[in-house]
Structure formats: structure tokens, C-alpha cells
Amino acid sequence: MCNKLLIVEDLPEKAEEIKKEISTHFPDLIIVERTSYHSAIEEIFRRHEDYFLILLDITMSTFDVNAEENGGVPETLAGKRILEGMYLRDIPTMVKVVTMFESFDGKSIKALDQELREDNPDSYDGFIFFSFKKSDWKKQLIEYISTLL
């Protein structure tokens, strides 16, 4: 069993909270982070076999933010597009969405969850609703990771 986990998240504060929680409970896990749609698909398509789990945001920047690049236009359903690409390439790595939003492009998270389950039955495994104010997401995340290890 591999011990690498990929976090795809463009909000640094959210990514740090997630990494901190995982590292506290699973200090031996290696956490790799990607911050945009393009860096995520490159990592997943090339190295998916290295990971036992991908924690995926749905809305993210198109490109990594750096001195030359502002990240491009945020893509509302970038995470869905990543899952579609994984499905087309038969990438079976488990994916759990971690989101702060209740709707995407006018679609509720519950409707999107159902759609992702139907379209990606082998890899998509639901969502966790992240909040800076509440901590119930932490228990859900830790319990979920425990079931995979």
C-alpha cells in the first residue's frame, strides 16, 4: 500500500488546515499538493499510481499562481473535469472532494455529488464540506482516510 496522498487545492489557508489535520493523525503519510487545474491533471495523469487518495477541490485556478502568472480565470467545475479525465484514462485512484461551497454553476453540492457518483463510480467517493468555523469536517476526513489505510 502506498502512503502518498495528493491534495488539489488553490486556497493556501484551506490546504494548510487539511495538511495539518492529516499530519497530526497520520504522520507517516506523504502529502503532495497541487494548486491548479493544469498542475493537478499533469500530476494525476503522470503519477496516479503513486497515490492512494486524492483530496480534490471543485473550483480552482486554471494555472498555478506565481510571479508571471495570476492563475487565470477560476474554473467553477475544474474538479469535475479532472474526474472526467481520470475516468477516460481508467485511473482508479480514490477521490474525495473537499469543498467550502454549497453550489457550483447553479447546481447544488448534493446534485453534483449524485452526478459525480454516476459518472465516476470507480473513483469518486463523495464529498466533505470544509469550514474554517466548524470542525466536523476533520473527523469525517480522518475517519475516511483510516478506512483506506
Q: What is the DSSP string of 3-56?
A: -EEEEE-S-HHHHHHHHHHHHHH-TT-EEEEE-SHHHHHHHHHHHGGG-SEEEE
Domains of the chain and any CATH numbers: 4-148 (3.40.50.2300)
The answer on pLDDT for 74 being more than 90 is no
The answer on pLDDT for 122 being more than 80 is yes
Q: C-alpha angle 46/145/9, rounded to 5°?
A: 50
DSSP three-state, residue 28: coil
| pLDDT value for 124 | 97
Share of the chain above pLDDT 90, in %: 79
pLDDT tens for 23-71 read 999 999 999 999 999 999 999 999 999 999 999 999 998 877 665 666 5
Q: What is the mean pLDDT of the chain?
A: 91
| pLDDT value for 52 | 97
Share of the chain above pLDDT 70, in %: 91
| pLDDT value for 65 | 66
Across 69-82, average pLDDT: 80
pLDDT tens for 96-107 read 999 997 767 677
